[in-house]
Amino acid sequence: MTHNDLNHKDTNWTYAAGNAAIPGGSQQDAGVPRSNRVSSDKEKEEKMNYRTLGRTGLSVSALALGTVELGLEYGIPLPGESGRPGDAEGIRIVHAALDGGINFIDTARAYGESERVLGLALADRRARVVLASKVATQPTPSGAALREAMLASLDASLRQLRTDWLDIWQIHNVDAALLEQAEVVSEVFESARRAGKVRWTGGSFYGAALPLAALDFDIFDVMQVTYSVLDQRLADRFFAAAQTDNVGVVVRSVLLKGALTERAEHLPAHLEKLIERSRRFRQTVTEAGIGSPAQAALAFALANPAIDAVLVGVRSVAEVTDAVEAAGLSMPPALLDRLRKLRLDDEELLNPGTWGIG
């Protein structure tokens, strides 16, 4: 598995018109006056903005929980830092995200133990979540072999997640070879839909050109792309084109694998230009007095109205709390302008798979 492969609720929730998830009661709410439950839901909604995910009609929290850290050691390592959270801590992280108003969770078969941990965490909460997972297709088989591999991966995801369906099923790290078999992929997607195992489909992408080209195939309801203070390439053309096609836009790598935090100081010397740009970002945030660098990086992405959801990966409940607080930050226009000027366009610096850090 390459770095490119990685980078890149039991409540009685009901689905409103357009398949949008809305909160209702839960088994955990038993004995709690409904007025109190409604008040709690309103408090969450005031803290967390909800957006419609393109043509799916799903109402998703603007901040979504990415879960690679729950299944693998990931990010820029710090000296003496332990590996991924244990199962119990992973469950607490997921529950803290739900309690903070996050209703959108993303995982993948390639994320190690992530699906299994989520299956435990969501055992009595599945209906509260818009749940997305991904199938890895590299190296890309062809024809019937591709179909068989995709459907086998889907069944494995459902078993690990302890669910009968995925709200969004995505191709992990879509490449040109996969798009050449768009007709096969479309048939597999439709077969999974008819079986009731999948509601909507999507793909995750690297770079700026491929996502734009993929729109022409019209096989993805949701597209997951990279975007951050340093990597703003998708804002040039893709965001507007996706809006025109009513394709949901989810962004990831908003912290650039931790390079927009103090972890950048632990990057190797050959990434000095990236380290220097991270320092400029962190200094700008400090001068503005608006949250931590990680919170400012999230708020920058959340401020873009063309983005439906921003994925954030966390290692602890404390990081969940910080991320939810970031969802409530308001970025002054002058600060947004300063941050946009920190943009980089060097693919070697923007793709963690090329950094050579393991």
pLDDT digits (tens, 9 = 90+) for 173-208: 999 999 999 999 999 999 999 999 999 999 999 999
DSSP letters, 153-166, are HHHHHHHHHT-S-E
Give the pLDDT score at 27: 32
Place of tokens 């439906």: 308
d(CA 296, CA 288): 10
Per-residue pLDDT for 244 more than 80?
yes
Asked if pLDDT for residue 7 goes beyond 70, the answer is no
Going by C-beta distance under 8 Å and a sequence separation of 6 or more, which residues neighbour residue 48?
Answer: 61, 62, 63, 100, 101, 102, 324, 327
| Mean pLDDT to the nearest integer, 27-47 | 46
Residue for token pair 């768009």: 182
Beta bridge partners of 222: 202, 248
CATH code for the part of the protein at 3-354: 3.20.20.100
134-173 pLDDT tens trace: 998 888 899 999 999 999 999 999 999 999 999 999 999 9
- Residues across the chain: 358
- Nearest Cα to Cα of residue 93 among 60, 120, 73: 120
